[in-house]
Amino acid sequence: MRRLSSLRQRLVVVGLMTGLLATLTGPAFASSSSIEVRDFGSQIDAYARYEGQSRCASAEQPGVRDFRALLQRNYGANAGGILRSCSQGGKSEHKEGRAYDWMLNAHNASDRRKADEVIGWLLATDEHGNRHAMARRFGIMYIIWNRQVWNAYRPNDGWRPYTGASPHTDHVHFSFTWDGAQRKTSYWTAPDAAVVRPAVAPGPFRDVSSQHSFVDEITWASEAGITTGFQDGSFRPGQDVTRAQMVTFLWRTMDSPRVTTAHGFRDVPSDAHYEAALRWAAAEGVIGGTAPGLFDPTGTLSRAQMARMMHRLVGEPLGAPMHPFIDVKSRDDVPVSFLHRRNITGGIDGTRFAPHHTVTRQQAATFLYRLASNQYAWTVADRTPSTVRFS
């Protein structure tokens, strides 16, 4: 398989904070994080005691909800659940609104990096010598991730094998004490202090630094020539990708093949910058219109539409095991199953794909990056373009 000549192997150098988890017996977690760092002083909360579920609640607890928002602001969507029905399964802090599942795939390098950064930040020793400082300040009781568990009430044991029914390879589980769940711990109650922002190295675009959650994926898309960003030097990662932008990304992914046949859409000017890409996409059947004769170039793209396009791009392979999502229509079962099987997406949580949610530019880059990383995704494709990165 060919590899893009200009694509160089990236080494992500993570700055180390004080104390590298001396008691950690599992994988090495990096204590650097893109979340801003505050100096809380030397006083710190005691380690959380175990407080198992004892009742049923119908509302997300504010501390857990705000913890989720903190991760989403710094690491993108990767949504997940807080509440769980009291009729579902056994005891769980989810049923009291004080547990959060952060949907990350342990088999995906980008997702592992996010998990490692956040867990490393939570369990690092602070500048005052407090071990597991941020986990204590949030009131975290335990963390489960990738077949291992860390318990605040057994801090000297470090990471231990987790043998529960779920291996937790598709999400990180955080459970909180009632104080943590109700924002009564020091992360929420400590007086405001100066915010120390670590120096951030430049990234491929002025709004995508080296610490951006999707820097690897966006850098690949830039180096592969799939995107050049905007004239002001930005990429606008959180902006919805348009249909014209997406068809251009797909066309460039396939090495910009030249096609002379007409695309047949009357709402596309002949001098549109994406016109050559659209001719190719229409000829290959990669994309259709939104109505007879209409392409809607400035319209947004749903996750279901993205799944169909990517599946068509690689020759519409069959035979993937059925996806686990309950919100996917039967017509999209095959493309979504393909994406799930190849670890291109794990949905927004374990059971929902959110087919009608729009796709952002950073998500589009991520989907294409994962597609180009997986050689098995290309087994029935007519050809393999130079943008793929496997050997």
User: Are 222 and 192 found together in one domain?
Assistant: no
* Within a domain: 127: yes
Cα pseudo-dihedral 304, 309, 310, 314, rounded to 10: 140
Say if residues 7 and 22 touch (Cβ distance below 8 Å).
no
pTM of the shown model: 0.53
Query: Tokens representing 368?
Result: 């294409």
- Please tell me the distance from the alpha carbon of residue 252 to that of residue 257, in angstroms, as a whole number: 8
* Within a domain: 201: no
User: Are 233 and 370 found together in one domain?
Assistant: yes
Q: What pLDDT, on the 0 to 100 scale, is given for residue 73?
A: 82
- Please tell me the distance from the alpha carbon of residue 132 to that of residue 127, in angstroms, as a whole number: 11
User: Are 373 and 224 found together in one domain?
Assistant: yes
- Average pLDDT, stretch 27-35? 52
List the single range of 25-39, 102-116, 183-197, 314-328 with lowest mean pLDDT: 25-39
List the single range of 79-93, 99-113, 131-145, 228-242 with lowest mean pLDDT: 79-93
- Average pLDDT, stretch 357-366? 93
- Average pLDDT, stretch 32-51? 79
* Within a domain: 31: no
* Within a domain: 147: yes
Using the 3D structure, point to which of 196, 226, 253 is the last residue of a domain. 196
Query: Tokens representing 94?
Result: 């989810």
Place 191 in a pLDDT band, splitting at 50, 70 and 90: confident
User: Are 263 and 368 found together in one domain?
Assistant: yes
* Within a domain: 238: yes
Q: How far apart, in Å, are the Cα atoms of 273 and each of 240, 244, 276, 337?
A: 19, 9, 8, 33
Domain total in the chain? 2
User: Are 225 and 294 found together in one domain?
Assistant: yes
Query: Tokens representing 114?
Result: 């996010």
Q: What pLDDT, on the 0 to 100 scale, is given for residue 22?
A: 31
Say if residues 29 and 21 touch (Cβ distance below 8 Å).
yes
Using the 3D structure, point to which of 163, 196, 229 is the last residue of a domain. 196
User: Are 363 and 267 found together in one domain?
Assistant: yes
* Within a domain: 50: yes
Check pLDDT > 70 for residue 37: no
User: Are 152 and 243 found together in one domain?
Assistant: no
What is the 8-class DSSP label of residue 193? -
User: Are 178 and 249 found together in one domain?
Assistant: no
Residues contacting 391, CB < 8 A, separation 6+: 1, 3
pLDDT digits over 225-246, tens only? 999 999 989 999 989 999 999 9
Helix (H/G/I), strand (E/B), else coil: 137: helix
Q: What pLDDT, on the 0 to 100 scale, is given for residue 30?
A: 46
Check pLDDT > 90 for residue 194: no
pLDDT digits over 112-135, tens only? 989 998 999 999 888 778 899 999
Nearest to residue 220, comparing CAs of 351, 56, 109, 337? 109
* Within a domain: 84: yes
- Average pLDDT, stretch 165-184? 94
User: Are 255 and 142 found together in one domain?
Assistant: no
pLDDT digits over 57-73, tens only? 878 899 999 999 888 88
Say if residues 196 and 38 touch (Cβ distance below 8 Å).
yes
Q: Catalogue the E-assigned strands of 52-110.
A: 99-102
User: Are 309 and 344 found together in one domain?
Assistant: yes
Check pLDDT > 60 for residue 15: no
| 343 torsion bin: left (phi>0), alpha (psi -120 to 50), beta (else) | left
Using the 3D structure, point to which of 142, 167, 196 is the last residue of a domain. 196
3-state secondary structure 327-367: CCCHHHHHHHHHHHHCCCCCCCCCCCCCCCCECEHHHHHHH
Say if residues 226 and 387 touch (Cβ distance below 8 Å).
yes
The neighbouring-strand residues paired with 174 are: 100, 143
Q: Which residue has the higher pLDDT, 58 or 79?
A: 58
Place 299 in a pLDDT band, splitting at 50, 70 and 90: very high
Check pLDDT > 60 for residue 32: no
Check pLDDT > 90 for residue 33: no
Please state the length of the chain: 391
- Average pLDDT, stretch 355-373? 93
List the single range of 193-197, 224-228, 229-233, 355-359 with lowest mean pLDDT: 193-197
Q: Which residue has the higher pLDDT, 90 or 274?
A: 274
- Please tell me the distance from the alpha carbon of residue 251 to that of residue 103, in angstroms, as a whole number: 30
Place 369 in a pLDDT band, splitting at 50, 70 and 90: very high
Chain centroid, CA 298 distance in Å: 25
Max mean pLDDT range (30-44, 84-98, 207-221, 232-246): 232-246
Q: What pLDDT, on the 0 to 100 scale, is given for residue 78?
A: 62
Query: Tokens representing 74?
Result: 């710094």
User: Are 259 and 373 found together in one domain?
Assistant: yes
Check pLDDT > 70 for residue 6: no
Check pLDDT > 50 for residue 321: yes
Could you give the angle at which helices 109-123 and 215-223 cross, rounded to 10 degrees? 150
- Which domain covers residue 54, as residue numbers? 37-196
Place 358 in a pLDDT band, splitting at 50, 70 and 90: very high
Place 137 in a pLDDT band, splitting at 50, 70 and 90: very high
Chain centroid, CA 264 distance in Å: 36
- Average pLDDT, stretch 212-220? 89
Q: With pLDDT > 70 as the criterion, what percentage of the chain qualifies?
A: 87
Burial class (CB in 10 A: 0-12, 13-18, 19+), 380: exposed
Nearest to residue 247, comparing CAs of 294, 297, 291? 297
Q: Which residue has the higher pLDDT, 390 or 132?
A: 132
Q: How far apart, in Å, are the Cα atoms of 142 and each of 98, 126, 158?
A: 12, 19, 11
User: Are 180 and 243 found together in one domain?
Assistant: no
* Within a domain: 58: yes
List the single range of 88-92, 132-136, 158-162, 366-370 with lowest mean pLDDT: 88-92
Q: What pLDDT, on the 0 to 100 scale, is given for residue 200?
A: 55
